[in-house]
Structure 1
Amino acid sequence: MLTQKYINSLAYKIVGCAIEVHKNLGPGLLESVYELCLIDELKNNGLKVESQIYLPVIYKGEKIGHDLKLDLLVEDLIIVENKSVEVMLPLFSAQLLTYLKLTNKPKGLLINFNCENITKQVVSLVTKAFADLPLE
């Protein structure tokens, strides 16, 4: 049975993998480099990862010409958006929240690798889908 505790433990594992990548590479590289290394680290930790997933935009019941692109989807539950920026903008969280709502996934992680301490640069967001799950 899917629970909040399970999803949170999965998110904890993802953040641990991001910390490992950051510890080995440090700040200042391109987002794509961190993403490839994070995918490798997640897979080495036994997690199922899909990358660069296209999400169709449906407007008033019709698909419009542009797709959104999710960076990573882990275990078909958690969307991970990777950044390598000097400043985390509120727009990044808004974007992730929109992806979560459109996909009905319970949790998302926004991770900025361009920093000294990655744990201070992780934003965790949850949706109603998460809130509706049992705690344990």
Structure 2
Amino acid sequence: MLLYEEETGKILEACLNVFNELGNGFLEPVYQEALAVEFGLMNIPFEKEKKLEIIYKGKKINKEYYADFICYGSVIVELKAVALLVNAHKAQVINYLKASKCKIGLLVNFGASSLKWERVSNFPAKGVSPEQIRVTKI
């Protein structure tokens, strides 16, 4: 069983309801507002545009980031309205997971011809040291 499987299932159902009603082609803020309405209708607890604090070596960074939603107090929901998701979108969710201490995130794209989503986790790779991580150019 996946962590927060029931919760993420309800969140994705709400996203699908919004997509089925609006289709693609709107800007992200339209989907964000519609999804907030849908979360309310489906009794999904959420915080919209939740401010995330970034801590570096024990010091709070002044730059502010905001998650589109945190649902159930533990699932980040990041919305996009783009033709194609790229690695930078997933990296954004991973960074939000780190900052929020949440373990699961959903990256949801309303911009394609059908609703696209990806489940992202913040579980550290076991047995990998920083020296083993390679940076590759794309």
TM normalised by structure 1 equals: 0.85
AA of the residue aligned to 1:57: I
Unaligned runs of 5+ in 2: 125-138
Unaligned runs of 5+ in 1: 130-136
Which of structures 1 and 2 has the larger relative contact order (alpha carbons within 8 angstroms, sep 6+)? 1
Larger radius of gyration: 2
Match of residue 105 from structure 1: 102
Residue correspondences, number? 124
Q: Deviations over 1:64-95 (max 9, x none)?
A: 22111111000101100000011211001011
Q: How does 1:20-35 map to 2 (within 5 A)?
A: 20-35=17-32
Q: Deviations over 1:71-125 (max 9, x none)?
A: 100010110000001121100101101111222212100000011221xx10101
Which whole-Å CA distance do the structure 2 matches of 1:63 and 1:127 have between them? Answer: 21
Q: Secondary structure at the match of 1:101?
A: helix
- Structure with a larger share of its residues in strand: 1
- Structure with a larger share of its residues in helix: 1
Segments ≥4 residues shifted beyond 4 Å: none
Q: CA deviation at 1:6?
A: 6.5
Q: CA deviation at 1:5?
A: 5.1
Q: How does 1:48-127 map to 2 (within 5 A)?
A: 48-118=45-115, 121-127=116-122
Match of residue 35 from structure 2: 38
RMSD: 1.5
